Amino acid sequence: MTEPEMTDSQVAGHIREWVRSRNGFGGFSWPTDGCGYAQHMKFVEHRNRNFTSDYPHDFRQFCLDYADSLEGI
């Protein structure tokens, strides 16, 4: 069964909750699990382009920054 696609705003909220509830570490889960395939791939592509060893924050902060970017914050 395919997950329905979430809006950018819904994904932002989902990511923030993922960080809060798992302290940013969900084992083998992704912060965009359950957001729909297109939204998940959008995050993965963003991560592949932007999360490097030069990134000044940890992965939790990276996820929160991405959530903010989805809402234009």
Q: What does the domain layout of the chain look like in residue ranges?
A: 8-70
Look at residue 8 and give its three-state secondary structure: helix
Q: Is the pTM here over 0.85, yes or no?
A: no
Look at residue 22 and give its three-state secondary structure: helix
Cα 39 to Cα 17: distance, rounded to the nearest angstrom: 16
Residue 8: alpha-carbon gap to chain centroid: 10
Reported confidence tier of residue 70, pLDDT bands at 50, 70, 90: very high
- Per-residue pLDDT for 24 more than 80? no
Within the chain, how many helices (H) and strands (E) appear? Answer: 3, 0
* Residue 55: per-residue pLDDT: 65
Six-digit token string for 6: 């979430």
Q: What is the DSSP letter of 52?
A: -
* Residue 66: per-residue pLDDT: 97
* Residue 22: per-residue pLDDT: 73
Reported confidence tier of residue 7, pLDDT bands at 50, 70, 90: very high
